[in-house]
Chains A and B, each alone.
Chain A
Amino acid sequence: MSGYQYLDVKLKLRDPESVTLTPVFLCGCILNSLASVFGEIGGQTSVKIVKFSASQQRSVFRVPENFLQRVRIALSLIGYYQEVPCHFQVLSTSPKRIDFEDSEEEVIAFI
């Protein structure tokens, strides 16, 4: 049986003003990293954004349980977001759906 895991991820940028932060770009950045680290066969998974907040630079991802390890490796190895040095901080991981502690208005929710 394979369920899903939810990841609460915060993007920390050196220069937050010079990038356009959208859910699609963020997802693409992670998928690119997965493809370069694990290749076309090993890096194919369904990463889905559940919640996204541009102001807090935080998002909640849903990944298949057996891909959690690979996604976390790929997340740690990301060094650039739109050519701006950055790193990802995984705030929490859970098998249940997670939410931001302080739900604000500008949060975009998917599904």
Chain B
Amino acid sequence: MVRIKNRYIAVQIVPYAPTKVLYLNDNTLTKCLLRNIEKYYGVYGLGMIEQGFRVKYINERTKIAIIRCMHAGHRFVSSILPLITLIGDVRAKFRTLYIGATIIQCNKFIIKHQKKFLDREMGQLTSAKERQDLFKRVMEFDMDR
């Protein structure tokens, strides 16, 4: 029995113009990634990663996505992420957060990452009013500035 190794890449999509909600679905993201892989690594690169490639999760409010690909070609994917500037028709860039072997580890990391973000932001504020404002903004997913 051969085990298939996967890699899960957690990315954050940073839009050029701050927006509350990204109008992106997994299909658009998949198409964009595959098109860029063909551009930079040709049909060979596309063939290496196409099997098992899937966008497992995309949250248009927190702007975080999880991409699954086979272990053999995950470097093709992770190396082109910084080169992408246009996703669908939205001008945005990718921030690679974490590369893990299971989706659970990725999920754990994202939770930790969000907690850390909240702690850092809360720590910088002094007055209770500002804290309440930030809390409200976070609850409404309006964190882009």
Residues of A within 8 A of B (CB): 35-43, 73
Instruction: Determine chain B's interface SS by DSSP, over half rule.
Output: helix
Chain B contributes a number of interface residues (CB within 8 A of A) equal to 10
A42, B45: Cβ atoms under 8 Å? yes
Residues of B within 8 A of A (CB): 37-45, 79
Q: For B41, what are the chain A residues with a Cβ–Cβ distance below 8 Å?
A: 38-39, 41-42
Q: Told that A37-B42, A42-B40 touch, could you supply 16 new A-B pairs with CB distance under 8 A? A: A35-B42, A36-B42, A37-B43, A37-B44, A38-B41, A38-B42, A39-B37, A39-B39, A39-B42, A39-B44, A41-B40, A41-B41, A41-B79, A42-B41, A43-B42, A73-B44
Bound complex: CA A38 to CA B39 (Å): 9
Q: For B44, what are the chain A residues with a Cβ–Cβ distance below 8 Å?
A: 37-39, 42, 73
Instruction: Determine chain A's interface SS by DSSP, over half rule.
Output: helix
Bound complex: CA A37 to CA B38 (Å): 9
Nearest chain-B residue to A34 (Cβ)? B42
Bound complex: CA A47 to CA B73 (Å): 27
Q: For B43, what are the chain A residues with a Cβ–Cβ distance below 8 Å?
A: 36-37
Q: For A41, what are the chain B residues with a Cβ–Cβ distance below 8 Å?
A: 40-41, 79
CB distance from A52 to the nearest CB of B (A): 26
Q: For A40, what are the chain B residues with a Cβ–Cβ distance below 8 Å?
A: 39-40
Nearest chain-A residue to B38 (Cβ)? A39
Q: For B40, what are the chain A residues with a Cβ–Cβ distance below 8 Å?
A: 39-42
Nearest chain-B residue to A39 (Cβ)? B42
CB distance from A73 to the nearest CB of B (A): 8
Bound complex: CA A6 to CA B69 (Å): 37
Bound complex: CA A43 to CA B39 (Å): 11
A-B contact list, 6 entries, CB within 8 Å: A36-B42, A37-B44, A39-B38, A39-B40, A41-B41, A42-B42
Q: For A35, what are the chain B residues with a Cβ–Cβ distance below 8 Å?
A: 42
Q: For A42, what are the chain B residues with a Cβ–Cβ distance below 8 Å?
A: 40-42, 44-45
Q: For B45, what are the chain A residues with a Cβ–Cβ distance below 8 Å?
A: 38-39, 42
Q: Give the residue among A37, A39, A40, A73 with the most B Cβ atoms within 10 A.
A: A39
CB distance from A90 to the nearest CB of B (A): 19
